[in-house]
């Protein structure tokens, strides 16, 4: 475990010191702060706009961290062969995968935590109450991002560093549309029906992990929905990481 933590710590440092990270941080901060300006220009409940835009920014920024910083770190490992210096240490390949996964996850979650605090603070300035239920939505988004991160590692075991991030983006888009696609083609027969069913069952269903609308509009979220989402996410992460290891353990460098 100490070796996994040593690798994840180095991964975190690599991410934090990346120029891309600061650029993303700047634009994400700008977007969150823009909610304050937007509130002056719109009619209606200002807290809803802050929540909507804040949560959307948090999700987008987290995805960009995976696509740019995650891909940069893992891609460099594979492309510049810096992985030689890691795998030549007394660790097995599963430990490498876990070390990198946990390091990137800690980077991701540290940022999500910081942004959540900022959104809660801005909300507090408007409503003078702390809306803790917002963290339920953040929690499930965190699970979604961990799934995407596991997919990133998986794609990097057999794809080039240029293609792997695009595949992760595809999983993100498909994962958010499979329910709708399935509903649209439910009444159809033949190829389209089969195709929509295949998409629905092969790809993760991120709608299970999306409760942003309910949270923003103060719709009560049953505890079992949240627990199911966490369980679904954890099961998927474990499955993807096992698949990744099965491919990666026999990979020749």
Partner 1 sequence: MDPLVIENLAKRYVTRQRGEKKAVWAVKDLTISIPHGAIFGFLGPNGAGKTTTIKMMMGLTLPTTGNILILGKSQTSPSARAGIGFLPENPQFPPALTAQEVLAWTGRMMGMEGETLKKRVDALLARVRLNEVRHERIATFSKGMIQRLGIAQATLAKPALLILDEPLSGLDPPGRQMVTEILKEAREEGCTVFFSSHILSDVRALCDEVGLIVGGHLVKKGEIEAVFNLSGDDSPASLDQRFSEIIHTRA
Q: Which is nearer to partner 1, 13 or 125 (CB)?
A: 13
Q: Which is nearer to partner 1, 15 or 204 (CB)?
A: 15
Is 243 a binder of partner 1 (CB under 8 A)? no
Of 178, 161, 169, 159, the closest CA to residue 244 belongs to 159
**Least distance from C-beta 247 to partner 1, angstroms?**
13
Let me know: does 87 contact 96? Beta carbons within 8 Å: yes
CB atoms within 10 A of CB 169: 14
**DSSP track, 206-250:** GGGG--HHHHHTT----HHHHHHHHHHHHHHHHHHHHHHHHHHTT
Query: What are the C-alpha distances in Å from 246 to residues 32, 85, 168?
Result: 41, 21, 19
Residues 164-183 touching partner 1, rule: CB under 8 A, are: none
Q: Which is nearer to partner 1, 18 or 177 (CB)?
A: 18
Among the residue ranges 5-13, 52-60, 126-134, 216-224, the one whose residues contact partner 1 (CB under 8 A)? 5-13
**Least distance from C-beta 7 to partner 1, angstroms?**
7
Give, rounded to a whole angstrom, the gap between the first and last alpha carbons of the chain.
Answer: 25
Residue from 1, 2, 41, 224 binding partner 1 (CB under 8 A): 2
Let me know: does 112 contact 58? Beta carbons within 8 Å: yes
Using a 10 angstrom Cβ sphere, with 0-12 exposed, 13-18 middle and 19 or more buried, the burial of residue 128 is exposed
Q: Which is nearer to partner 1, 2 or 128 (CB)?
A: 2
Tokens encoding 155: 């794609």
Q: Which is nearer to partner 1, 6 or 197 (CB)?
A: 6
Binding mask 70-99 for partner 1 (x = CB under 8 A): ---x--x---xxx-xxxxxxxxx--x----
Q: Which is nearer to partner 1, 13 or 246 (CB)?
A: 13
- Interface ranges with partner 1 (CB under 8 A): 2-3, 6-7, 9-10, 13-14, 17-18, 73, 76, 80-82, 84-92, 95, 250, 252-253
């Amino acid at each position: 475990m100490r070796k996994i933590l040593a690798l994840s710590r180095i991964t975190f440092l690599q991410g934090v010191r990346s120029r891309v990270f600061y650029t993303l941080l700047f634009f994400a901060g700008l977007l969150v702060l823009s909610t304050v300006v937007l509130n002056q220009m719109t009619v209606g409940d200002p807290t809803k706009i802050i929540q909507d835009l804040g949560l959307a920014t948090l999700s987008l920024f987290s995805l960009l961290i995976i696509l740019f910083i995650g891909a940069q770190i893992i891609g460099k490992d594979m492309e510049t062969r810096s992985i030689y210096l890691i795998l030549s240490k007394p660790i097995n390949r599963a430990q490498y995968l876990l070390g990198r996964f946990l390091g990137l996850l800690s980077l991701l979650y540290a940022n999500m935590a910081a942004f959540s605090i900022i959104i809660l603070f801005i909300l507090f300035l408007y409503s003078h109450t702390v809306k803790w239920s917002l963290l339920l939505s953040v929690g499930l988004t965190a699970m979604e991002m961990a799934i995407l991160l596991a997919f990133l590692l998986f794609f990097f075991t057999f794809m080039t560093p240029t293609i792997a991030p695009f595949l992760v983006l595809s999983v993100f888009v498909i994962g958010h549309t499979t329910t709708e696609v399935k509903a649209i083609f439910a009444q159809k027969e033949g190829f389209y029906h089969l195709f929509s069913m295949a998409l629905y069952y092969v790809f993760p269903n991120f709608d299970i992990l999306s409760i942003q609308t309910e949270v923003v509009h103060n719709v009560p979220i049953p505890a079992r929905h949240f627990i199911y989402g966490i369980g679904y996410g954890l099961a998927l992460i474990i499955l993807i990481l096992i698949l990744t290891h099965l491919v990666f353990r026999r990979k020749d460098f």
